[in-house]
Structures are given as structure tokens and as C-alpha cells.
Amino acid sequence: MSVQRLNLMGAVYAMACIVAGTAIAEERDKLLSEPGVYGNFSAFQIYHDWWNMDKAVRLAAISEAKAVFDKYRDKLAIDTFLLRGLSDHADVMVRVHARELGDIQSFLVDLLATGVGKHLNTTLVLNGMTKKANYVPAFPDALKNDLKAPSDPGPDTYAIVIPIRKDAEWWGLDQDKRTALMQEHTEAALPYLKTVKRKLYHSSGLDDVDFITYFETSRMDDFHQLIIALEKVKENKHNRRFGHPTLIGTVRSWDELFGTLGR
């Protein structure tokens, strides 16, 4: 085969990889931004015997786990987090978005069947789905404009997951009363909108909680003040459960997380 033909084939392959990578990135963006997408948070503790294994065996197990991540990357948006040292409930966490809950299940089943997965103890699983904003359409225009300001959580971000369950009284309130309470809630959160990024998942019927709140920030002092501000609003009295557990970790890429596991 001529050198020219080999070069052409290489160029075609490279272009195909670029196109595929772009398609995957576009689908990921949609999964992270569109309503009607399922979200799963799975937290794991690493069994102590993992760290006593020969490093070569651990690296082989990590390669097997990374292959599972690659297998699903075209249909799932997968994010990984290191919780070890910041949360006593788990060492690592995986956040997965998908259009079908069954696809998330398949990924997790495959992951837990790997050499890494066999050394993971599942400590928490939360399921939810994204929806269009329920109360924002009724907010004053000035407040809606303020909410459009982009958030910038910073380059070295922490992730916080807080499950929430409302009391029965909350669900018995009419829409206008709940909207008024959520407007106060939103106004209290506005000063922290720029440095604390927030995403909400609805969980009623999908889990034992009603909501999963996910935050990213590089300013944990701002996050601390945000929670204090929200504890002062009237809507807070309807929180039957807030946290229990609260998970705190750092956002890590797949390679960074597996690098930590391979040390």
C-alpha cells in the first residue's frame, strides 16, 4: 500500500474521530441542559483490601473500568468526583445523565462487575429527573433577568449533593403560595448566583426524597453563606429532610479519579 494511501486513510480516520467526538460533546451538552433527562448519583466506599493489592493488578482493574466508561460515553453524560477526605459516607461518586433510566442501570451494573467495581461498596444511590422551571415563569421580570446571569463556579470546583424531602403541608399549598415562598427563596440565593452553580433534580416517586440539589463552587465560604441564607426563609420550614447525608467532594476527570485509585 502506498504512503499516500496510508496518509489518506489516516486523515479520514482522524476526521471520523473528530466528528464522533463532536457528536458526543453535543449530546453531553444536551443531557446536561435539557429537561426530561434522568440523573443518578451513586456513591461508593472503597474496600480497604483494594489498597493492599499489587499495583499491577489494580492498574489492570482500572483499565477494565475505564473501558466501561468508554463504552457508554456516546449515550450517557458521566461525571466523577473524589469524596475521600471530605465525606465520611463515601470515597468516590459518579453522576450520570441519560434519556433512559435503564441505560444508567446498565452502566452501573457493568461498572460494578469490573475489577474496580468488585472493591466498591455502594453507600448511596439517588435518582431524579430534570424538569422545566416550575415557579420562575410567575416571578417578576426583574428577578427573571437576574437569574439569567451566568454563574462562574471557578476552575478548582467542589461538588455538594444535598437530598431534600418536603413535608405534607408543602404539597398541600396551592401554586400561588408555593410560588411566593420560592420567590423569597430565590431572592435570598441571588447574591451567590455567580459563584455557586446549582442544578435541581425532581425525585418524587423515583427515590425516597423529593429533590436532589447539586452545587459546584470554588468558594466554599459563599456556599456556606448561601445555606445560612436559605435556612432563614419561610420555605425552609417545609424541609422534612435536608441532607442526611450531605456529600462533599472535588470534581475530578476520569483519568484523575482513576489515577488516585491506582496509586
- Mean of pLDDT over the chain: 92
Residue 174 lies in a domain: yes
Q: Is 101 left (phi over 0), alpha (psi -120 to 50) or beta?
A: alpha
Number of domains making up the chain: 2
198 catalytic? Reply is: yes
Do 89 and 38 belong together in one domain? yes
**Catalytic choice (73, 198, 219, 241):** 198
pLDDT on residue 218: 95
Q: What is the pTM of this model?
A: 0.90
Do 81 and 143 belong together in one domain? no
Residue 72 lies in a domain: yes
pLDDT tens per residue, range 149-188: 888 888 879 999 999 999 999 999 999 999 999 999 999 9
Do 18 and 114 belong together in one domain? yes
Domain final position from 115, 130, 145 = 130
Do 18 and 113 belong together in one domain? yes
pLDDT on residue 136: 96
Do 42 and 148 belong together in one domain? no
C-alpha to C-alpha distance for 59 and 150, rounded to whole angstroms: 40
Do 197 and 146 belong together in one domain? yes
Tell whether the model's pLDDT for residue 3 goes beyond 80.
no
In terms of residue numbers, what domain contains 58? 3-130
With CA atoms as reference, report the closest residue to 98 among 65, 118, 127. Answer: 127
Read off the pLDDT band of 11 (50, 70, 90).
low
pLDDT tens per residue, range 233-256: 999 999 999 999 999 999 999 999
Under DSSP, is residue 44 helix (H, G, I), strand (E, B) or coil? strand
Read off the pLDDT band of 16 (50, 70, 90).
very low
Residue 8 or 41, more confident: 41
Residue 45 lies in a domain: yes
Task: For residue 22, give the CATH number of its domain.
Answer: 3.30.70.1030
Strand partners, 204: 207
Q: Could you give the residue ranges of the DSSP H alpha helices within 34-140?
A: 49-52, 55-72, 101-112
Read off the pLDDT band of 13 (50, 70, 90).
very low
Residue 220 lies in a domain: yes
pLDDT on residue 197: 94
Domain final position from 106, 130, 154 = 130
